[in-house]
Amino acid sequence: MLKQDVSIHNNYNGPYICRRFGPPVVQPTKHFGSSLKKQASSRNSYYSSRYMGGRSVPDMKHTTDGRTRICFLNPFGTDRYDDLIKEVLSSSLRDTTELDIWHLHAGPRNLDYYAPKQVVQVEILRAAKAAEAAGYDALVIGCLYDPALTEARELVKIPVIGPLEASTAQARMFGHRYAIVTDHHKAVPELEDRLRIYGTEANCRSVEAVGWFVDDMVKDTDAVATDTYAVAQEALKRTGAEAILIGCTIVSACYELAVQRGRTELADLPVINPNLIAVKTAEMFADMNKAGQYRIARNAYYQNLADHNPAEADDVAPYFETDIYERTI
């Protein structure tokens, strides 16, 4: 299969990288002052001439062929985790779902600590705008911190999914009480705070850490899975939790990779997979949006600034623009 890297440059630092496995994704080319219709025509002409021998291709933003296009954004300034996420999710997708894995090029390589996370969140907002402009039906922010989730929903019209919010909302379907097993000590209070915001803390018995930082996980994914299994078992016995939510997208990917490679004992635990739940939630909300049923409230919490003060919205819009698109194969 064709593996393609698409660099989406912002207007001051660097690109967002989209890694796609399968048919190449349509991306907008650079246009200043042109309409969306002209941009779509131009990018489709490029796609047609480059990949389809001049044959016409339907506009990605307006096709009615039943496909669902989801962007899974790894909010890290590196591509080290892209293949891992794709590998563990591909087999669970619907036949009509196209999943592209993006990562950030501008910004820190991880958001383990809170200060770098603040920098990353700005890049996430730019990536959200880029994904919407590129025609995706939904965006998944691939981190259990759910960074910039509220802000991204405010900023774009497509559904934006946070793995923690989606997983804890459905945790009761796996068991009455649950515990979270996350990556390291910095994540524990952050996730506890998020649970309180979401109103899902009542049935969470504990938040535990396996003691891994993201930079080290891809060096030994099986060891991450082994440690997660041990901590999860201990948490189930000690806290009375009935299910375990893995509180890190990369820890979860390491765990599911071990399951897929034959470690059946890991599959015996009642583990909630936040990556898959986030993608399946994105599929559902994309379907709802196409059916006219994604009726997000825009009068308060998720109100867009343009609805309150259009002039101010125009002033701040350049901070979120990604006006240069480049393609590298």
Cβ atoms 143, 163 nearer than 8 A: yes
* pLDDT tens track for 74-120: 999 999 999 999 999 999 999 999 999 999 988 899 999 999 999 99
H or E element at residue 182: strand 178-182
- Same-fold call for 3-162+278-328 versus 165-274: yes
* pLDDT tens track for 276-288: 999 999 999 999 9
Amino acid at 15: P
- ∠ at Cα 170 (165, 173), nearest 5°? 160
Structure tokens at 308: 């309150």
H-type alpha helices, the chain:
36-51, 82-89, 114-133, 149-155, 163-170, 187-198, 214-217, 221-239, 249-260, 264-267, 274-290, 305-308, 310-316
Q: Which CATH fold topology does 165-274 show?
A: Rossmann fold (3.40.50)
How far does CA 96 lie from the centroid of its chain?
19
User: For residue 18, what pLDDT is reported?
Assistant: 59
Distances (CA, A) of 42 to 29, 34, 210: 7, 10, 49
DSSP 72-95: EEE-SSSSTTHHHHHHHHGGGS-T
pTM metric for this prediction: 0.82
Q: Is 146 left (phi over 0), alpha (psi -120 to 50) or beta?
A: left
Binned average pLDDT, 10 residues per bin, the chain of 329 residues: 42 49 37 36 37 35 75 95 96 96 91 95 95 96 98 98 98 97 98 97 97 96 98 97 98 98 96 98 97 96 96 93 42
Q: Which CATH fold topology does 3-162+278-328 show?
A: Rossmann fold (3.40.50)
User: For residue 30, what pLDDT is reported?
Assistant: 31
Domain ranges of the chain: 3-162+278-328, 165-274
